Amino acid sequence: MKVSYRWLKESVATDLSPKAVADRLTNAGIEVAAAAPLVSGLSGVVVGEVEAIDKHGVCRVATADRHFTVVCGAPNVAVGVRAAFAPPGAALPGGQQVQTTRKRGVLSEGMLCSEKELGIGDDADGILLLAADAPLGSDLVTSLGLDDWILEVEVTPNRPDCLSVVGVAREIAALTGAPFRFPAIAVKEGDADIVALAAVEVEDPDLCPRYAARLITGLTVAPSPPWLAQRLRAVGLRPINNLVDVTNYVLWELGHPLHAFDSDTLAQRKVIVRRARPGERLTTLDGQERELAESMLLITDPERAIALAGVMGGANTEVTAETTSVLLESAYFNPASIRRTSKRLGLATEAAYRFERGADIEGLREALDRAAQLMADLGGGTVAKGVLDVYPSPRPHPRIPLRLERIQRVIGICPPREEVVRILQGLGFAVDEAKEPPDIVVPSFRRDVSMEDDLAEEVIRVWGYERIPSTLPGGSLALVRRPAALRRAARVTQALAAAGLSEVITYGFVDPERLRLLGWDPASPELMTLRNPLSQERSILRPSLVPGLLEVVATNRHRQIPDVRCFEVGRVFRSGGPDGLAREEARVGIALTGLRASRAWYAGRDTVDLHDAKGAAEHVLASLGVEEYGVRASASSFLEAGRSGELVVGGEAVGWFGELALGPQEGYDLAGPVFLAELSLDRLGALPPRRVRYRALPRFPAVQRDVAFVMPQALAVEEVESEIRQRGGALLKSVTLFDVYAGKGVESGMRSVAWSLTFQADDRTLTDEEVNALHAAIIEAVTKRFGIAVRGMTPEGG
Amino acid sequence: MADKRASEILKGARGEAARAKSSADLEQVRVKYLGRQGILTQFLRSLSSIPVAERPEVGREANLAKAEIETLLGERLAELKAAERRHALESQRVDLTLPGRRPSPGTLHPLTLVQDEIIEIFLGLGFAVAEGPEVESDFYNFEALNIPRDHPARDMQDTFYLSEDVLLRTHTSPMQIRIMKAMRPPLRYIFPGRVYRRDIADASHSPVFHQVEGLAVDRNISMGDLKGTLELFAREMFGPRTTTRFRPSFFPFTEPSAEVDVRCFLCGGEGCRVCKQSGWLEILGSGMVHPQVLRNVGYDPEEVTGWAFGMGVERIAMLKYGIDDIRLFFENDLRFLTQFA
Ligand SMILES: [Zn+2]
């Protein structure tokens, strides 16, 4: 909310500069986001009078002692008006220097300016007209009060009282000790009694605890006087006419929303406050016809709805240029009800904003009186005698006992008692010191204060948070470390980063079309779909990390980064969790594409393949201490057939790896093959922990023998290797597959696979004869069992 | 007349060793004199054939000659090897400016780095760590935190809903409730995690971001302890000379509430674009746990007090690294990701 510094000074006599006031407010929790001069760069503009206009639109403009010839085509220029005039040499905002220029063949000495040109409003359609008694030739900045500052106040939802000049002024007074002055309000009433002229009935006091109205008659609608128009413009409001502007003025000054009905349009001049009836409709001031729900509170007359209570008026009773009498409403509506109505209709208005935060149920009378008198003054009307005020159960002021020990305990420090009392009184609280502890009486405009700790906050924020001592909590020692799930995630993250992969973090929302591309059914009840997504492309919670990783690969490819080796650790979501929530599972996903190693003079130019994905998955398992696992072929909707496998630990699948199928690869517009893997960190975490035991170092020498078999492509190395191990027995300490070769010299459909075997005994040095015999036995067993041949043998000394 | 053979052998060996041009040549000299069939070896073997009276004298000289030859061969070998090594290095020049063979590790995401750092600091202060669900109930995310339906405070956090009562958590604060319901004081916890707001992504908004929430509940714990703890955190995170400011604010689940700012380290408080001319950078929200929230979890606010704080990991990372667009964290452009490791 924009607040004018000059306006504030009418209610608080502070000597502080606007910047200092802003700082003080911010430090007390009323955040001032910006404080800036109302206009800058404006100088030399004065009050001028248009003395004559010829038929070509050339005006003669008079100031105190001079006459100027000015070309002006504005629609509202007329003989006799006083207006903002920038003679040659004047400066306008934006750095414009006014000069004598040739316009339409005439030398124009300066210009008559619009609001927009002066930088004080948005109206560019006509020149800014001034009061008829504005002193000729006087400086515009001083005569319009433009030497002002605007504070941009950001009021938190608990402080609707600060959505007003008076509210902010009260804070400043409490914070600085400067005297606070509430505007003097007195109504000059006419003879006619309102009771005879109008009536108010509240059928639903639960939603409208108080409704007050006054009647003003004999009004003439006209433009607001310049002081009022300027004050509204300064805070970003557009002047409309004297009646509407008064309600806005009082809204800004006192913070209470008012509504003016053209009372001649009301049936029987009677207002009935009630809930909407089934099927009832209302055309609001914005011209929209709205269908009303039965929970919504309406202002009606005996025949029809005339306003959406606290949200927006109806078009049928609007104040127009012909209006001569006004029924002015000042009411208190139930905040939750206003909020529901406003949300439901998507109608966020200045009035609803305040009512849903809580208006001042007592202050509404002052707002009513203030506005009624201003309307009468500005519109030349009369305020009828009396007020129609329906307030069946007046709300008591809460009384809260305040213990200074409580402040000390919660805050860690407490100001002296006199200081506490002074602060609370400054904020408008009454202090009943006859009680011990003293009772604090909460004013009606502070609905946010309902308990002792609220008062503690009031005291300490005014006294100054900077006075709170900085201490550290005591207490006993407790063991703290990261929980297992976080340690697991950290270990995997570190391992993959150390292995050359880059960690990524993605939004986690998935496009149903992309899911379809990957072979999921986006309508599956397993998936969790947002009711109110930002867009369709981000409407489903990820059931896998794959879609996000593919987006990363695609993004980088489009930025000319073809080689991507990345991973993400995060949760995936399925429906059917506890208490209607999700089944959330922590996973790690891996995506590899392009070159295996960053380009360098020593690096190879190999591209990644399926075994890189498998290797990365194995690396994850190893980082979590899982050494025993199996692989089984698996089918997947988005991986190439025959190029994907499941990783199995203890009979349970813990993850998979594979090559992205061509369909999705093209769907994501990816250049080359992408190899993927995904493992469940939760499932891996549920496995029994590995117990690490030391094995004694060998005391006798090892003997190494290599062997290569020429075997069919279809025969799995795993099978051959397990035969080797089995036949090798206890003396075969390790088996390492070190070469796979197919091509020249090897029959097509076959490949040569070479293993290095290490033999070693725990209790003696093996003889060559022993090793040779065992090696031969292994070869015989393998060749016999699989019908394959040895390619070659290179015995090496041990 | 003395036997001169030993000294002649020595003389010959000395001459040949000096003439040897390489360690291989020298080896041949060694074999020639000291090998099994070497001249000196044979001479030593022949000692038995000379008269007994001369034997000790000749034998002594022969052994002296042997020792001397061994020494001079050793010295000459060292000389030659050094020369050969020098020659080899000179003939195979190395370009010292050629890039080294480096292992190519990957990178950790900047958010992971910053989150780890935050966790590390609070672990050091004795805070335990817990995680909670990202898909939350309206009760834990709002109701139990004193944010009823139809309350304007809900506008502070635009929410993604999965159903009437199920949503994506808008903050990590529901973990305050979950932990307080599960445990009894004293408590000292932090809760890191992903949170979601229905904000359109721009330079300063993201529909997904990360928070670290903190909670401490005990018999006697005050706002002063909160202030001291957060000041310590800020100095640890942003450097020992960091100035902090504690400023009143509003959160429905804390009372009193405080926003914590650090003095803008770009302009030193003079005012700049990053701090929006204020001289301060907001880093977190905090406050004393609202008595109603304590009651909601079955605690007696007369018996225990508590405080809580919450900070955005992205915000801290942006300040720490000077990043001006939050979307960069989620685009995962490798040229961005590789800047932080
Ligand atoms: Zn700055």
Listed residue (A257, A2, A279, A48) closest to A150, CA to CA: A2
Task: Give the number of beta-carbon pairs within 8 Å between A and B.
Answer: 258
Is the pLDDT at A216 greater than 50, yes or no? yes
> What DSSP element (H or E) covers B311?
strand B305-312
**pLDDT tens-digit profile of A758-772?**
999 999 999 999 999
Half-sphere exposure of B313 (CA within 13 A, CB side): 27
Q: What is the structure's pLDDT at A274? A: 97
Q: Cis check for the bond before A205: say yes or no (omega within 30 of 0).
A: no
Mean pLDDT computed over B208-214 = 97
Confidence of residue A57 (pLDDT cuts 50, 70, 90): confident
**A432: exposed, middle or buried (C-beta count within 10 Å: 0-12, 13-18, 19+)?**
exposed
Eight-state DSSP code of residue B203:
S
Mutation for testing the A interface, residue in B137, B184, B227, B286 having most A CBs under 10 Å: B227
Cα distances (angstroms) measured from residue A641 to each of A74, A633, A719, B60, B243: 77, 9, 21, 87, 61
- Only one residue has tokens 């403009």, namely A61
Listed residue (B44, B38, B37, B45) closest to B6, CA to CA: B44
Give the Cα separation of A228 and A256 in Å (integer).
18
Q: What is the structure's pLDDT at B1? A: 41
Mean pLDDT computed over A244-273 = 96
**pLDDT tens-digit profile of A391-432?**
999 999 999 999 999 999 999 999 999 999 999 999 999 999
**pLDDT tens-digit profile of A483-508?**
999 999 999 999 999 999 999 999 99
CA distance B270 to chain A (A): 14
The chain-wide mean pLDDT, for chain A, equals 93
Give the Cα separation of A685 and A665 in Å (integer).
32
Give the Cα separation of A756 and A759 in Å (integer).
10
Token pair, residue A337, equals 């009800």
A21-35, A39-53, A705-719, range with the lowest pLDDT? A39-53
How remote is the CA of residue A271 from the centroid of ligand 1, in Å?
Answer: 55
Mean pLDDT computed over A354-376 = 96
Question: Which chain B positions have a beta carbon within 8 Å of A336's beta carbon?
Answer: 149-151
Nearest to B334 among A494, A497, A564 (CB): A564
ipTM: 0.87
Listed residue (A430, A399, A405) closest to A417, CA to CA: A405
Is the pLDDT at A236 greater than 80, yes or no? yes
Q: What is the dihedral of CA A780, A781, A785, A786, to 10 degrees?
A: -60
Is the pLDDT at A2 greater than 50, yes or no? yes
Around ion ligand 1, residues with a beta carbon closer than 5 Å are B 264, 266-267, 272, 275
Confidence of residue B2 (pLDDT cuts 50, 70, 90): low
Per-range mean pLDDT, top range of A85-99, A341-355, B60-74: A341-355
Query: What percent of chain A clears pLDDT 90, i.e. is strictly above it?
Result: 79
Question: Which chain A positions have a beta carbon within 8 Å of B338's beta carbon?
Answer: 502
**B216: exposed, middle or buried (C-beta count within 10 Å: 0-12, 13-18, 19+)?**
buried
Beta strands across the sheet bearing A2-4: A2-4, A149-154, A31-37
Q: What is the structure's pLDDT at A26? A: 94
Give the Cα separation of A638 and A17 in Å (integer).
67
Confidence of residue A752 (pLDDT cuts 50, 70, 90): very high
How remote is the CA of residue A19 from the centroid of ligand 1, in Å?
Answer: 17
B337 lies within 8 A of chain A by CB: yes
Q: What is the structure's pLDDT at B326? A: 96
Give the Cα separation of A444 and A366 in Å (integer).
13
Helix (H/G/I), strand (E/B), else coil: A748? coil
- Asked if residues B158 and B199 have their Cβ atoms less than 8 Å apart, the reply is yes
Listed residue (A207, A204, A517, A149) closest to A339, CA to CA: A207
Confidence of residue A131 (pLDDT cuts 50, 70, 90): confident
Mean pLDDT computed over A134-153 = 88
Nearest CA in chain B to A494: B108
Q: What is the structure's pLDDT at B74? A: 92
Token pair, residue A707, equals 């062997």
- Asked if residues A289 and A279 have their Cβ atoms less than 8 Å apart, the reply is no
Q: What is the structure's pLDDT at A792? A: 61
**pLDDT tens-digit profile of A598-622?**
888 998 899 999 999 999 999 999 9
Give the Cα separation of B140 and B157 in Å (integer).
14
Q: Cis check for the bond before A437: say yes or no (omega within 30 of 0).
A: yes
Question: For residue A798, what are the β-bridge partners?
Answer: none
Q: What is the structure's pLDDT at A560? A: 94
Q: Using N-to-C axis directions, what is the helix angle for A404-411 and A452-463, rounded to 10°?
A: 70
- Asked if residues B262 and B234 have their Cβ atoms less than 8 Å apart, the reply is yes
Token pair, residue A123, equals 């109206």
B136 lies within 8 A of chain A by CB: yes
Domains and CATH numbers, chain A: 2-38+149-176 (3.30.56.10), 46-143 (2.40.50.140), 189-390 (3.50.40.10), 399-467 (3.30.56.10), 484-685 (3.30.930.10), 703-795 (3.30.70.380)
Query: What percent of chain B clears pLDDT 90, i.e. is strictly above it?
Result: 69
Q: Look at the pTM and tell me if it is higher than 0.90.
A: no
Is the pLDDT at A541 greater than 50, yes or no? yes
Residue A671 or residue A526, greater confidence:
A526
Give the Cα separation of A378 and A339 in Å (integer).
34
Cα distances (angstroms) measured from residue A344 to each of A287, A292, A295, A368, A786: 18, 10, 11, 29, 75
Q: What does residue B283 show for φ and ψ, rounded to 5 degrees?
A: -120, -25
- Asked if residues A328 and A317 have their Cβ atoms less than 8 Å apart, the reply is no
How remote is the CA of residue B209 from the centroid of ligand 1, in Å?
Answer: 24
**pLDDT tens-digit profile of B251-260?**
999 999 999 9
Helix (H/G/I), strand (E/B), else coil: A463? helix
Q: Cis check for the bond before A712: say yes or no (omega within 30 of 0).
A: no
Eight-state DSSP code of residue B250:
E
Helix (H/G/I), strand (E/B), else coil: A432? strand
**pLDDT tens-digit profile of A668-682?**
999 899 999 999 999
Neighbour-count burial for A258-286, b at 16+ CB within 10 Å, e otherwise: bbbbbbebbeebbbbbbbbeeebebebbe
A241-245, A279-283, A475-479, A650-654, range with the lowest pLDDT? A475-479
Q: What is the structure's pLDDT at A795? A: 36
Instruction: Determine, for residues B329 and A505 on separate chains, whether the beta-carbon distance falls below 8 Å.
Output: yes
Eight-state DSSP code of residue A522:
T
Confidence of residue A797 (pLDDT cuts 50, 70, 90): very low
A6-20, A53-67, A180-194, A582-596, range with the lowest pLDDT? A53-67
Q: Using N-to-C axis directions, what is the helix angle for B223-238 and B313-321, rounded to 10°?
A: 40
For A389, residues 6+ apart whose C-beta sits below 8 A from its C-beta are A210, A211, A212, A213, A365
Residue B137 or residue B150, greater confidence:
B137
Q: What is the structure's pLDDT at B44? A: 85
